[in-house]
Amino acid sequence: MQKLGPVTARIAQMRELVRDRVIAVDAERALNITESYRKNLLVPPIIKRATATYDVCSKMTCRVEEFELIVGNLGTSFLGSGVQPENGFAWFYEEFDGGKLWVRDENGVYHRDDMGTKLSITEEEKDKLYSIRDFWKGRTVSDHMDSWYPDGYEEWCAIGASSYFPGMPIGDLPSGHLTAGYPKIIDVGYAAIRKQAEDWVDAHKGNLMGADVERYMFYKSAILACDAATAMIRGYARACHQKAQGCPEAARRAELQKMGDGLVWISEKPARTFWEAVQATVMYQLLLYMDARYPALAFGRFDQYTWPFLKADLEAGRITMDQAHEIVDAFLLKANCFYRAAPPFLNEIVGVGNTYQHTTIGGVDPDTGEDASNPVTYMVLDSMGRLLLHDPTISIRIHRNTPEDLWERAIEMTKLVGGLPLFQNDEVIIPALVERGFELRDARDYSLIGCQEIVGSGNDYPAPNGTLCKATIHYGVILDMALNNGTNPFNGRSGALKTGYLYDMQSFDEVKAAMKAQVEYFLGWLVTMNNYSEHIAMRESPHAALSISIEGCMESGKDCVCGGAKYNSFGGTATGLATVADSLTTIKYMVFDKKLCTARELYDAYMANWEGHEPLRRRILNDVPHFGNNDPYADEQMKWICDVYYNACGRMHSERSRIYKAGLYGAADHVAQGAHTWATPDGRRTGEPLADAASPAQGRDLHGPTSVFNSELCFDHRHFLDGIALNLKIHPTALRGAEGAAKLRDVTKAYFDGGGMEVQYNVVSADDMRAAQKDPAAYHNLVVRIAGYSAYFVELSTRMQNDIISRTENVL
């Protein structure tokens, strides 16, 4: 095993700052966008939004720190965040008006740190944000959607079985879950993209016929987006040049001068060097962050689009490998600065302490299908390992010819930081994408975003969490309703579909029919609301800054929100289906097959949240076969519910897309969903987490990873192109030495050969975690991963910590 080299002093300094980060919220972006909107109130949204982006980017504070070699900031501070009032910003005022979350310290600074990501704001910035509150009333994107609803929405949403909740804005987040076209930005540059738009505009001046008006406005917005980028990057160039002037140290002065010169260049032109390629990637990411609060903007195949530049630099003797590695360190640390102020409910669902800038490495070459790993692939793994970073999420694409060295390094990283990288199987994913209409070349170029979602790189508007991030219906609640005549026992609310009571069902087939009907009913509603809000979003919230890089948009003159991308899809996820499967197995085993209790007894017991029925609950936990143990009796129900869900998805479509993808992932949502899900027949109590993503229910897989893998293969992974998250916790003793690492590699290879799509390993012990609960300071570096994301353990809520501990350890 290769020893990881040391980092430079300035990287170490930045690492410390990032680890102890408090995100300073400021009002700069909010005030600038408000001023812009005030001036352009009645301008068509596609132009108004792009103009606002230009105004924000040309007025923003640009800074460079002593220790930085990659620049870019979300707010006016090094670790800051502006805010986005234009989609919906009520949460901020509600938090302050509520007066509980933010605590004022003796210096007049407010702090919010109950949810892990620490935020602060000064009195002055807070007052500025209050000054624009009234302006945005009735003017946000969500206000346009929330002013009117399709019939029956309010009743359906009140049931509490989906991402829609009464009173919650339905359009407060744009889709944002995608891989933008970083290679295009780097290889083509803003000036050339702008020229393409300008040429069309010039050619059509005074001659807009048919659908030309829409195209004209799109190209005008594209010009504004390019100008916004150029203005912003020039701002950073000025900051570097100014810093250089005052710099006493010759080498750093030269470096800053060179950074400034490079920024001037990439503000319009294609990158020339590895540094420029990396800096241009970060600048484009920043442009998008200035444009809107897109959640989960992934970096795509970073090793693929930057390596040609490094290769050329190395060949020309312009750079050393150590220097290149420092740039990769700086890039990953910069990504860690991009935390944004967000409301607590988002933290609860997606987990805290994650920027969701999923980065994909490894995999195959789009043209040849041969292994595409390169020195940057290894640098990313080593940087994450030597900096002990849990973010950004790294996915490594595995295929038949993945080199042994790369396997070794990836497992080494798993051992160091726990849970990263995610292992993704090209051999399953690429053919499945081709089956779904991707050209082979594009399928081979896929990347991962968000938690797990599979998307095209720079050519896809995939909306994998729905077009406005309302990803899911809650399958635990739906199960409860299916067995309770369509009434949610958690809140007594009823849906329109009545499917009878468990105790009246005469056969297991009747139980399954009830569940299937409710799944289809709820999914239909979820997609209905998605399609309604997307219809509004197409007019109110086009994304020029994104569209300039997404293949298809500039060619067709259509924004990606309106279907301009080469590939279009949307989708969602079903987290915790193992809880549903185990519940169905329980009914089958206890009531119909073994007749150990009656349906009435079982119903009464879990409807009482098992109170007074502990012996029955324990009997279920101990005797009933559970998913994850390679027991066909239990696995049959998992396959059944996965198929029901997948087939229901097959009937969904929208104005923009024929394809609605199914997924089995969910970050921390299994905890949030569990909190408002009544007890389930599998012995789970009210409020306890559901099973996590595609994993077996917590603590119920008792036979180690090979049995879990065999169980997971009971359903067809190719059906779940929105991604699968299988989270396996491995005791460190299973990984001792080179031999242990080889065994983890081999068990993964065998799983992937069998058709497994994804796995991530969490290498920690329960004792470590209990110790960490008692002494957080001493375990600050303890990184854990929950399906699709990882975080510092000590930053998680106690409930989530306990959830992780309760997962089965693969003890030896």
Partner 1 sequence: MSSDPAGTIYDIQGFSVQDGPGIRTTVFLKGCPLRCPWCHSPESRRFDIQLSWQSRRCIGTAVCGLCLVSCPRGAIVPAEGSQSTDTEDGLQLIRVDWDTCDDCGLCAAECPAGALSMWGKRYTVSEVVDRALRDRPFFEKSGGGVTISGGEPLSQAEFTLALLRALKENGLHTALDTTGFAPWAVVEKALPHVDLFLLDLKNMDGRAHNAAVGVPNQPILENARGIAAAGGKMQIRIPVIPRFNDSGGNLRALGKFVAELGEAVTLVQLLPYHALGVPKWERIKHDGPILEATAPSDKKIGELKAILEEYSLTIQVH
Residues that bind partner 1 (CB under 8 A): 612, 614-616, 618-619, 621-623, 630, 703-707, 709-710, 733-734, 739-740, 742-743, 746-747, 749-750, 753-754, 810, 812
Two tokens, residue 76: 């006016």
Alpha carbon of 263 to those of 57, 225, 285: distances in Å? 15, 17, 15
Beta carbon of residue 401, minimum distance to partner 1 (angstroms, whole number): 15
Two tokens, residue 316: 């020309």
Beta carbon of residue 479, minimum distance to partner 1 (angstroms, whole number): 23
Which CB, 308 or 740, lies closer to partner 1?
A: 740
Which CB, 105 or 739, lies closer to partner 1?
A: 739
Beta carbon of residue 694, minimum distance to partner 1 (angstroms, whole number): 19
Beta carbon of residue 330, minimum distance to partner 1 (angstroms, whole number): 38
Which CB, 199 or 746, lies closer to partner 1?
A: 746
Beta carbon of residue 703, minimum distance to partner 1 (angstroms, whole number): 5
Do residues 640 and 584 lie in contact, with contact meaning Cβ atoms separated by under 8 Å? yes
Which CB, 301 or 617, lies closer to partner 1?
A: 617
Which CB, 5 or 612, lies closer to partner 1?
A: 612
Question: Which distant-in-sequence residues (6+ apart) come within 8 Å of 374 by Cβ?
Answer: 303, 304, 307, 311
Which CB, 255 or 716, lies closer to partner 1?
A: 716
Tally of CB atoms within 10 A around 555: 10
Which CB, 182 or 610, lies closer to partner 1?
A: 610
C-alpha span between 502 and 120 (Å, rounded): 51
Write phi, then psi, for 167 (nearest 5 degrees).
Answer: 85, -10
Write phi, then psi, for 104 (nearest 5 degrees).
Answer: -85, 130
Which CB, 266 or 616, lies closer to partner 1?
A: 616
Which CB, 280 or 730, lies closer to partner 1?
A: 730
Do residues 458 and 383 lie in contact, with contact meaning Cβ atoms separated by under 8 Å? no
Cis peptide bond upstream of 183, omega within 30: no
Beta carbon of residue 753, minimum distance to partner 1 (angstroms, whole number): 6
Two tokens, residue 420: 């990263």
Burial of 224 (0-12, 13-18, 19+ CB in 10 A): buried
Burial of 58 (0-12, 13-18, 19+ CB in 10 A): middle
Which CB, 496 or 702, lies closer to partner 1?
A: 702
Alpha carbon of 592 to those of 151, 579, 595, 639, 668: distances in Å? 40, 19, 5, 19, 34
Do residues 357 and 394 lie in contact, with contact meaning Cβ atoms separated by under 8 Å? no
Residue-wise burial string across 727-766, b where 16 or more C-beta atoms lie within 10 A, e elsewhere: bbbbeeebbeeeebbebbbebbbebbeeebbbbbbbbbbb
C-alpha span between 487 and 483 (Å, rounded): 9
- Tell me the one-letter amino acid at 106: E
Beta carbon of residue 279, minimum distance to partner 1 (angstroms, whole number): 42
C-alpha span between 450 and 372 (Å, rounded): 23
Beta carbon of residue 709, minimum distance to partner 1 (angstroms, whole number): 8
3-class SS of residue 112: strand
Which CB, 218 or 709, lies closer to partner 1?
A: 709
Which CB, 308 or 754, lies closer to partner 1?
A: 754
C-alpha span between 691 and 803 (Å, rounded): 10
Four-residue CA torsion sign, 201, 203, 208, 210: negative
Beta carbon of residue 737, minimum distance to partner 1 (angstroms, whole number): 9
Beta carbon of residue 610, minimum distance to partner 1 (angstroms, whole number): 11
Beta carbon of residue 180, minimum distance to partner 1 (angstroms, whole number): 37
Write phi, then psi, for 473 (nearest 5 degrees).
Answer: -100, 160
3-class SS of residue 298: strand
Two tokens, residue 629: 């143990």
Beta carbon of residue 754, minimum distance to partner 1 (angstroms, whole number): 6
Beta carbon of residue 616, minimum distance to partner 1 (angstroms, whole number): 7
Which CB, 245 or 622, lies closer to partner 1?
A: 622
